[in-house]
Structure 1
């Protein structure tokens, strides 16, 4: 048994009009292979370049361990200069990742190495962010709390990506009061005996190489495995519809704060309760007793 996944479409010479009509408006993913070919970053961005330009910048690193007890989710594992993190990446497999690292705040000169693509989309220009990970590191299946449309530009290494549209949420063991699937589930090698509904979910997959641009539509679930040490840039376009804005505000003001409060009050009992509820609800959605 395996996940039901089809390849994410790959395009070259994709015009603004075609992108809007075929992918952005219908909320479908696509990989654009040549969008970054004329950017300085396409040729410059590698780990040696970042060691030179940002080696002294202290960066927060996160590991793959699920939060336990009264810990907040997404706790920082350590902070080190970027050059030390690069050394860690080059030594071999590691689950240490750097995510949502604001390039504008920390390395403003590097914003000259890329451009905001002319795709008919309004970008949130205050938040160009880097994602870096070591070989074998994985990002739990989730969707973004701010429901942004993500444009993910891969420059170093390769990574495996699995996507699911919002209408598959009921089959993904979504944890209540969160935007993640159960952290114990390894989407790279799922246990279908324990989580049988996953076999019914219909999604997409791809391996991103140097220069690939992945468009992840708003509210789409994504899982990422770093096949090799990898560095990527993400540019974001925020939702405009009143319904999505209301959901974003609910995520930021209620869901996140309520979950963190309950973690502090009930600790591991709260996490275990949510996981049991995730299994019960998902199996019921899938017609599994």
Structure 2
């Protein structure tokens, strides 16, 4: 894959962010934007264990999607204290995904502020994400096509991004928000997934206190190099086409997919995965020059 390093800045003004990254819809890592937050010095595994240890948290791993599973249905549950001990003691595929701290641990909101990057943030949707060493998310984009600010705390995380314009090369599963689940984006097999060689995207590694801006609808793959956690804040898409696509995803695509899972069962999931390969390879064949013998 053709992956550029995501640009990095120490600090950024609202004007610089809007003109240089939001308007052209380009990602950026801001290295120093949360040093004045209490979370910068307080947020680590032990602190989360202290303030949320008794909370039951939803856990996800990298098993393939099954027809009987609902949208974002967790694969397991345990107390936060037990999960953090698991993260510290051994590698685990279990991750916490989209954990709303506004609902679960309201006092955590005293530890951070909503930064003014020139976008109106959704203040009821601060989400936490945790993962163990080598755990990862499938390559996906968010259902609402939001602008995302991803703040990382503790550990190190690899992030690979693609704009929507690269969807044709990514083996997207139809009627879903993911690419084919067999792809290892940190070490792709180009013989099995040849179209990935044409995919043009971005890569970076996040450390404590750094924030990654992901533009509207960007595909993203996250891999935890070491145990850690992040928080995402999000803003509505400003592009009318992206806003409309977000509404379609929520109210039409998800509803249709859930219905087909109930009607056709695992055959529906298998067909979608087959189509992800067939459509992408067909597109690749159509754009590959034929050499004269």
Q: How far apart are 1:117 and its partner, in Å?
A: 0.9
Gaps of 5+ in 2: 289-293
Q: Please, which of 58, 61, 81 is the counterpart of residue 60 of structure 1?
A: 58
Write out per-residue CA displacement over residues 42-91 of structure 1, whole angstroms, 9 at most, x where no aligned residue. 11000111111111111111111112243335321222111111011111
Q: Do residues 89 (structure 1) and 87 (structure 2) align?
A: yes
Gaps of 5+ in 1: none
> Do the aligned residues in 2 keep the contact of 1:61 with 1:77 (CA within 8 Å)?
yes
Backbone CA RMSD of aligned residues: 1.3
Q: Please, which of 240, 243, 265 is the counterpart of residue 241 of structure 2?
A: 243
Write out per-residue CA displacement over residues 101-122 of structure 1, whole angstroms, 9 at most, x where no aligned residue. 1111111111111111121111
1:241-280 correspondence runs (5 A)? 241-280=239-278
Q: Please, which of 8, 11, 30 is the counterpart of residue 10 of structure 1?
A: 8
**TM-score, with normalisation over the residues of structure 2?**
0.95
> Do the aligned residues in 1 keep the contact of 2:217 with 2:242 (CA within 8 Å)?
no
CA distance in structure 2 between the partners assigned to 1:69 and 1:41 by the alignment:
39
1:30-179 correspondence runs (5 A)? 30-179=28-177
Write out per-residue CA displacement over residues 211-266 of structure 1, whole angstroms, 9 at most, x where no aligned residue. 11000001110001111111111101012443222211211111111112111221
**SS of the residue 2:285 aligns to:** coil
**SS of the residue 1:76 aligns to:** coil
- Aligned positions, number: 287
Task: Give 1:282's aligned residue.
Answer: 280
CA distance in structure 2 between the partners assigned to 1:69 and 1:104 by the alignment:
30
